[in-house]
Amino acid sequence: MKSLKFKNGDEMPAIGLGTWKSDKGEVGEAVKIALKNGYRHIDCAATYGNEAEIGEAFSEVFSGGNIKREDVWVTSKLWNDSHKKEDVIPALKQTLKDLQLDYLDLYLIHWPVAFKKGIGFPKNDEDYYSLEEVPITETWEAMIEAKKQGLVKHIGVSNFSIKKLQDLMDKTDENPEMDQVELHPYLQQNELLEFCSSNNINVTAFSPLGSGDRADSMKADNEPSLLENETIKKIADKHGASAGQVLIKWNEQRGTAVIPKSTNEGRIKENLKSTGLKLDEDDLKEIAALDRHFRYVTGEFFVTDGNSYENIYDDADYKA
């Protein structure tokens, strides 16, 4: 499998296991199945509400002796209610406690939006801090401090547009090492990838399969399906692969990491095997033509009138 390189020589396996929406009672087993079958990269977040069960799985696997902690790349993310400088390291320490780890390989600012302490999901404008009250630079400085303290090896961001990355880089001394964003054939984000590549920022693709298990309230009417797309299915048939494998491989082949979520044993194994596939020039040309700037995770639930962003991704063609 490919890996993504960091400035200090560390390598992150390109294919990891996503854990958003992986239910309690299932997620621990999914992580154990993944590690047993060759995954060495697990993507977590405090807001997924399942880090304690993932921690149990890590503890069991690492104490078994066959897989060492240092062989597995673990990412987690700072939730939006802990952006104030005094809240960042305590939130990180809670994640470390839940995951039963003494360091993370990568810690990300989950979204470029700050909520008041204790807010999981905002209900009104009062739940947000304004951009002036808690500037993202304040949060980033605390992330740098977490790295200095050895609590995390690498730091980065998630859901940051080029504009937000540039702004952060202009205002602080240390650049993000990662941007985790939605990427798939309907949202190819070539410009963002080029920007990141020229600034030594690695990229991770989230929702690579179209995030079909999101709650209905998070879905648009008549969302297009990636897994049922005729071009993807045709390419999958040509290679004797599944549609999911083509979607995962497409990301891996573009040089990003990719973190498909599954709690199903067969699909967990199938997804990792996508690394053995090779998409040819014709496949890549056909997939390139599928780009339609469609987001599954719109981020609209984090946008308010005065306190936050009118347009979280700074999309030129954004329509509220």
Ligand X SMILES: CCCCCC/C=C/C=O
Q: Name residues contacting ligand NDP, limited to 279-298 (CB under 6 A).
A: 297
Name the binder of 39 from ligand X, ligand NDP, none, CB < 5-8 A by kind: none
Do residues 180 and 109 touch, judged by C-beta distance below 8 A? no
- Assess 164 for contact with ligand NDP (CB under 6 A): no
- Assess 262 for contact with ligand NDP (CB under 6 A): yes
Q: Answer yes or no: 48 catalytic.
A: yes
- Assess 177 for contact with ligand NDP (CB under 6 A): no
Question: What's the rounded Cα separation, in Å, for the pair 62 and 319?
Answer: 47
Instruction: Starting at the earlier edge strand, list the strands of the sheet with 41-43.
Output: 41-43, 73-78, 104-109, 152-158, 178-182, 202-206, 257-258
Per DSSP, 46 falls in state G
Question: What's the rounded Cα separation, in Å, for the pair 270 and 227?
Answer: 14
Query: Could you say which of 95, 271, 307, 308 contacts ligand NDP (CB under 6 A)?
Result: 271
- Assess 206 for contact with ligand NDP (CB under 6 A): yes
Question: What's the rounded Cα separation, in Å, for the pair 315 and 306?
Answer: 18
Q: Name residues contacting ligand X, limited to 4-23 (CB under 6 A).
A: 20
The beta-strand segments (E) located in 101-259 are 104-109, 152-158, 178-182, 202-206, 257-258
Name the binder of 307 from ligand NDP, ligand X, none, CB < 5-8 A by kind: none
- Assess 45 for contact with ligand X (CB under 6 A): yes
Query: Could you say which of 86, 117, 121, 219 contacts ligand X (CB under 6 A)?
Result: 121
Residues that bind ligand NDP (CB under 6 A): 18-21, 43, 110, 158-159, 180, 206-213, 227, 242, 244, 259-264, 267, 270-271, 297
